[in-house]
Amino acid sequence: GQNIDQPTEMTATEGAIVQINCTYQTSGFNGLFWYQQHAGEAPTFLSYNVLDGLEEKGRFSSFLSRSKGYSYLLLKELQMKDSASYLCAVLDSNYQLIWGAGTKLIIKP
Amino acid sequence: GAVVSQHPSRVICKSGTSVKIECRSLDFQATTMFWYRQFPKKSLMLMATSNEGSKATYEQGVEKDKFLINHASLTLSTLTVTSAHPEDSSFYICSAGTSSVSYNEQFFGPGTRLTVL
């Protein structure tokens, strides 16, 4: 079966750095997405990786290793507004998005 | 660009009634629209995929006669929850895809919170 694993919840301090990991086993791979979802709202796009390596976009960076079935989202200089759930999703061989359950990130002052 | 709207944002209805949710792509043509539901603290669950002018493809376990999907144009898809029951209470989210984006990004609507009494 297809599976996306990510931690259920993480806590970090304002101004610090946090890394959210995601491992996946899917039938085929056509890219990995990270989305941010605030409570009661729809997901918003953060990043897309299809090749191995690190993609940096401001305070957020995303890394992919296809051979390991592994990705992480790195958030720097954390702000209180970064408190949200972060969803990892993989596009499989049928171009269908397989979603992880999300990681709830709690930022403390 | 790439804005998707959803209406209504919140609806409360009595058990047995039908509820229609609209999803519109405001500034692009959506070749494909997706309907998801999400329970509290759970991941998004794909219900169906629809392409303009053709029948929707439903995921396993989703009743097509209960969740009617119409994708009448490249900018509008509707989801009708027929004879809603309390267990249908959920957060329903649509997203739209366009072939103009190289990496198959989906643009999400703001979601509709359905409460069935």
| Residue, of A97 and B89, whose pLDDT is higher | B89
B102 pLDDT band, cuts 50/70/90, is: very low
* Residues in chain A within 8 Å Cβ distance of B93: 42-43
Contact A101 B43 (CB under 8 A): yes
* A54: enclosing H helix or E strand: strand A53-57
Taking residues A17-36, report their average pLDDT: 94
Mean pLDDT of chain A: 93
* Residues in chain A within 8 Å Cβ distance of B103: 31, 48, 50
Mean pLDDT of chain B: 88
Q: What are phi and psi of A82, to 5 degrees?
A: -80, -5
Interface with A, mutate which of B10, B44, B113 (most A CBs under 10 A): B44
Taking residues A16-29, report their average pLDDT: 96
Task: Dump pLDDT digits (tens) for B64-73.
Answer: 999 999 988 8
* Residues in chain A within 8 Å Cβ distance of B6: 42
| pLDDT value at residue B73 | 87
Pairing of β B112-116 and β A60-65: unpaired
| pLDDT value at residue B100 | 52
B88: helix, coil or strand? helix
Distance CA B94, CA B71 (A): 12
Contact B113 A41 (CB under 8 A): no
Taking residues A27-32, report their average pLDDT: 91
Pairing of β A70-75 and β A18-25: antiparallel
B54 in A contact zone (CB under 8 Å): no
Query: One-letter amino acid identity for A7?
Result: P
User: In the beta sheet, which residues pair with residue A42?
Assistant: none
Task: Dump pLDDT digits (tens) for A45-96.
Answer: 899 999 999 999 899 999 999 999 999 999 999 999 999 999 999 988 877 7
